[in-house]
Structure 1
Amino acid sequence: MVEPGLIVFTDRRQSERPLDEVIAGAVDGGARVVVLREHDLPPRRRLKLASTLRSLLDQAGGRLLLEEDGALRKCHGLEELVAAADDPADYVTLSPIFATRSKPGYGPPLGLAALGRMAMAAPVPVFALGGVDTPGRVRDCLDEGAAGVAVMGVVMRAEDPARLVKELLAA
């Protein structure tokens, strides 16, 4: 199993470039776990995209997860994190940690102190998600006990996804 420091979620609508090009850049920058969302795509088109992305990640020794495959659970509070003990999830995301442009409707940011408390209580590695868009914020999340960070919009919108991912991973 690939142990990520950074998980990249896809959202092609946030990018002006083809998604496979954005993900190729992220992988070049060091991303090794990518979660394919894109549920609105017709099944054949999503399957073709998954095949393309899986090939990119396989070449780098990475892993493509389908959002619905159960390896990752998305949590928004302590109750959901504790319940993750009953799931076969390898990782969980906790969000939103900071305010985010990508998913503004998920309530107020939890903040770093809550991340720290919840990461200690979680039965599986917790990845901070939501507004983690700078190296400083990555460091803050790791200092609070997060196993890593998960990003979406910041990579999808990046002019240079490879450079951005390198910077986030270096933190």
Structure 2
Amino acid sequence: MNCSKEQILLYAITDRHWLGNRPLTEVVEESLRGGATMIQLREKNLDEAAFLQEAKALRDLCKKYSVPFIINDNISIAAEVDADGVHVGQSDMAASKAREILGKDKIIGVTAKTIEQAIAAEQMGADYLGVGAVFPTSSKEDALPITHEMLRKICETVSIPVAAIGGITKDNIPQLKGNGISGIATISAIYGMPNIEESTRELKKIITQTVL
């Protein structure tokens, strides 16, 4: 397994929507200073050349902070920039194929909403799961909430770390206590905040207490 529980404790996912006029590297560095333990570059609307440039910049930044750098969906760019890994959804490339392309030492994350999907992902070599949406979210319109009972069952069924995702805020994190998660993955609770570094620090404190 290439991913520890500690690495997905506070998993920050980028979203250009929250940037305003600020460079992505600047806001990501603020989250790293605040204690983000993993960074995912998520770009749905950038052309390949711009995506590649951003991926290289964030890869170097994450190396500086010794934090894993993951790319969402785009296996070819993950391979080209030598990212630490890739995250794939159920409609993307299978984890086993991603592993074949990226090699045994890279982190492969998979989105799962059911026990069956979670078991299949682990069997195909996933290193961690992103499970949700655990609360209603506006970041992904197709992300239907799953029950916290389902989240708990998935955590009990697999041996790899699970990050809860979807609609997470500093106020609702404590509701996830006792479900067996190793951490949370979030966009707006970090990058949608006026003070990213401070918000990240506060989230890390709350999630650390929640997963104990």
Tell me the TM-score normalised to structure 2 length.
0.73
Please, what is the CA RMSD of the aligned residues?
1.8
2:184 counterpart SS class: strand
CA contact (8 A) 2:8 2:163 kept: no
CA distance in 1, matches of 2:62, 2:175: 28
Structure of larger gyration radius: 2
Report whether the alignment pairs 1:45 with 2:50.
Answer: yes
Residue of structure 2 in register with 1:22 after alignment: 27
Report whether the alignment pairs 1:117 with 2:122.
Answer: no
Alignment length, in residue pairs? 169
Query: Which amino acid in structure 1 is aligned with residue 10 of structure 2?
Result: L
CA contact (8 A) 2:135 2:168 kept: yes
CA contact (8 A) 1:97 1:130 kept: yes
Residue of structure 1 in register with 2:175 after alignment: 140
Report whether the alignment pairs 1:161 with 2:166.
Answer: no
Deviation per CA, 1:28-52: give whole Å up to 9, x if none: 1011211111142121211111111
Which aligned segments of 4 or more residues in structure 1 are displaced greater than 3 angstroms?
none
- Aligned-residue offset at 1:131: 1.1
CA contact (8 A) 1:12 1:18 kept: no
1:144 counterpart SS class: coil
CA distance in 1, matches of 2:202, 2:186: 13
CA contact (8 A) 1:101 1:153 kept: no
1:145 counterpart SS class: coil
Unaligned runs of 5+ in 1: none
Q: Percent identity?
A: 25
* 2:10 pairs with one of 2, 6, 11: 6
CA contact (8 A) 1:81 1:123 kept: no
Report whether the alignment pairs 1:149 with 2:149.
Answer: no
1:143 counterpart SS class: coil
CA distance in 2, matches of 1:7, 1:33: 5
CA distance in 2, matches of 1:58, 1:167: 23
Residue of structure 2 in register with 1:101 after alignment: 138
CA distance in 1, matches of 2:37, 2:180: 21
Residue of structure 2 in register with 1:73 after alignment: 110
- Aligned-residue offset at 1:142: 4.1
CA contact (8 A) 1:32 1:63 kept: yes
Structure scoring higher RCO (CA < 8 A, sep ≥ 6) equals 1
CA contact (8 A) 1:32 1:60 kept: no
CA contact (8 A) 2:8 2:185 kept: no
Deviation per CA, 1:133-166: give whole Å up to 9, x if none: 11x4333324211011110122221111111111
CA contact (8 A) 1:92 1:127 kept: yes
Tell me the TM-score normalised to structure 1 length.
0.89
Residue of structure 1 in register with 2:82 after alignment: none
